[in-house]
Amino acid sequence: MDFICLDYIGFSKLINAGGAIGIPHWTQFYLTIYPTSMSSPPSEILLQGGTLLVHQNDSRVVPIHADILIHGNQIKKIEQNIRVDDHVRILDCSDKIISPGFISTHHHLWQTQLKGKHGNHTLLEYMPSGNLIGALYSPDDAFWGELSGAMEAIDAGTTCVVDHSSLNIGPEYPSTMIQALETSGLRAVYCQCVPRTITDDDDLLGSYDHTPTSALTTWKTLAQVAPLADGRIQLGFAVDNLYLPTSQIQELYSQLRSMNAKIITSHGTGGLSFGNAPSAAQLLHQSGLLGPDILISHANFPKPGDAELLAKHGASVSSTPNTELQMGYPPVGLMPEFEPHASLGVDCHSWGGGFMPYQMRLLLQYARTVRSENLAEKGKWSRYNAPSVEQVFNLGTIGGARTLGMTGQVGQLKVGAKADLVIFDTTSPSMLAAAQEDPLAAVVLHSSERDVNTVIVDGIVRKERGSLLPVSVTKAPVTDGGVEMEGRQLAWSDIVGAVLKSRATIQQKSRGVDMRAVEETIIGAFHMDRENMIESA
């Protein structure tokens, strides 16, 4: 087997894929070595002796002590004391919790270079500096932002993402970003947005043509070769203007469905700032477009009957607690009428942490506070707490699978399911005792990215012993787009340097942009309620 040296650490021994090899005492270095063929994993992996978070009866999560045998990209066995041949790679999972990989059903993976900008921003302030600023991204910027965002997700134990890809300012961008997704190893539904045409560097807003002929030109080319990465990357679409003429939006959705779009997703919000406009669920229902392939992100300030419309048509919502709560928009994910149709997402990792248990605990404690306040208004209080840890864990696992139409395939530990798993250490300072008392609560309420020891996506180890493994740049799916690095091995340190260089370039380009002026344009373009807006914090 050929090997490649990836880093230069320190002293005394050489490690290869088969174990430690002694070297002379005078050799004062330490090399970590991996196979050059990173896409050729062992045919079988045994996860031995872990505490498994297993779904029973579709929703009940039961910790069990067992082994998991992975064959190819699927879970082959879940049993105690599985015996294997010598060729099977064994990962010792004693003192570990094995969870289904998390599913983020709303994420803008390209935004890595913008992280840290939005600590005190509202949605209005975010729009130019965190979304429309994508107009300043080159295709190379898009690749590095998308790749690092996808690897950040994997590092945090997220194995599947609905990528609402709002960076589409030319025909080369979708192919470039899919190339980055495929390179990362993440499972994803890539939802390309309607293309944005930029004619002036100072006009970040640009213009959109939602007619199917224009909006779907690049998408149809990609649809002819989808799914990609042996089925790991599927193709969806994002439509964020639901106020189109009825016949036009119906034709757009008809063409998407005729070419098997996995998901059609839209941002949906409301409330006073948007003049209490109709909800996304109402608009799609009025056009006869609600269905099980519809995913509405946020869905804040819902209208009466929205949950019933989702239930009737099998549509879903994605709650993203971190960004929604910062904006002052109450998340709906654990509202009783929405929970059966809900899942969890990260939204903008530029805004806050991309760790799904972090999203879980924010939503859980918000929902518990609202329940307590509602009881207090009636002069009541409760002996017991609700909702439960289990309920919010399910939103980030089996709820995401249901949203994607992939129930039983992802989001749970089950024989025949995809081998998408996250393995937590249980003896770290944060997990110690909690993991032994209640493994599920330990993951939801005590864990952090530090505790994510190993992540497996589609049967391939992507993070091990707390470190992301190198990736190999794949070929772009179509000739339009992509970066010229096919076959290049990238360690995380390589990606860090490229992202920081890209960030500096984008910051330089943005210095001449009047963000306040763009905000004023947005207020008009989005028909926001200027009359009742206050100008102070």
CATH code (residue 352): 3.20.20.140
Angle at 243 between CA 241 and CA 249, to 5 degrees: 80
Does residue 228 fall inside a structural domain?
Answer: yes
Please state whether beta strands 31-35 and 19-21 pair in parallel, antiparallel, or not at all (unpaired).
Answer: unpaired
Instruction: Give yes or no for residue 118 having a pLDDT over 80.
Output: yes
Neighbouring CB atoms inside 10 A of 385's CB total: 11
* Nearest-angstrom CA–CA distance, 32 and 13: 9
Whether 363 contacts 391, CB under 8 Å = no
* Nearest-angstrom CA–CA distance, 219 and 222: 5
pLDDT, the chain, mean: 90
Q: Render pLDDT for 257-299 as a digit per residue (tens, 0 to 9).
A: 999 999 999 999 887 878 788 999 999 999 999 999 999 999 9
Question: Which structure tokens are listed for 382?
Answer: 């409760």
Q: Count how many Cα atoms sit within 13 Å of the Cα of residue 129 in the half-sphere of its side chain.
A: 22
Residue closest to 393 by CA, chosen among 442, 430, 330? 442
Q: Number of folded domains in the chain?
A: 1
Q: What is the dihedral of CA 363, 367, 368, 369, to 10 degrees?
A: 100
Q: State the pLDDT at residue 2.
A: 34
* Nearest-angstrom CA–CA distance, 424 and 420: 14
Q: Render pLDDT for 236-250 as a digit per residue (tens, 0 to 9).
A: 999 999 999 999 999
Confidence of residue 364 (pLDDT cuts 50, 70, 90): very high
Confidence of residue 40 (pLDDT cuts 50, 70, 90): low
Q: What is the dihedral of CA 204, 274, 108, 207, to 10 degrees?
A: -30
Q: Which residue has the tokens 């040296």?
A: 5
* Nearest-angstrom CA–CA distance, 422 and 410: 12
Confidence of residue 476 (pLDDT cuts 50, 70, 90): very high
DSSP character for 301? S
Confidence of residue 201 (pLDDT cuts 50, 70, 90): low
Instruction: Give yes or no for residue 160 having a pLDDT over 70.
Output: yes
Residue closest to 317 by CA, chosen among 67, 37, 62, 106? 106
Residue 479 neighbours by CB under 8 Å, 6+ apart: 175
Q: State the pLDDT at residue 115.
A: 95
Confidence of residue 33 (pLDDT cuts 50, 70, 90): very low
Does residue 87 fall inside a structural domain?
Answer: no
Residue 64 neighbours by CB under 8 Å, 6+ apart: 51, 52, 54
* Nearest-angstrom CA–CA distance, 221 and 208: 19
Give the pLDDT mean for 460-488: 94
Q: State the pLDDT at residue 274.
A: 80
Residue 419 neighbours by CB under 8 Å, 6+ apart: 45, 70, 72, 73, 74, 75, 456, 457, 458, 459
DSSP string over 224-248 = TT-SBTTTTEEEEEE-----S-HHH
Does residue 59 fall inside a structural domain?
Answer: no
Neighbouring CB atoms inside 10 A of 143's CB total: 26
Angle at 257 between CA 256 and CA 262, to 5 degrees: 90
42 versus 473: which is more confidently predicted?
Answer: 473
* Nearest-angstrom CA–CA distance, 425 and 447: 9
Q: What is the dihedral of CA 84, 160, 453, 152, to 10 degrees?
A: 150
The whole domain housing 248 covers: 101-412+496-526
Q: Which residue has the tokens 């699927």?
A: 74
Does residue 536 fall inside a structural domain?
Answer: no
Q: State the pLDDT at residue 7.
A: 35
Instruction: Give yes or no for residue 36 having a pLDDT over 60.
Output: no
Q: Is 450 left (phi over 0), alpha (psi -120 to 50) or beta?
A: alpha
Does residue 363 fall inside a structural domain?
Answer: yes
Residue % of the chain over a pLDDT of 70: 92
Does residue 76 fall inside a structural domain?
Answer: no
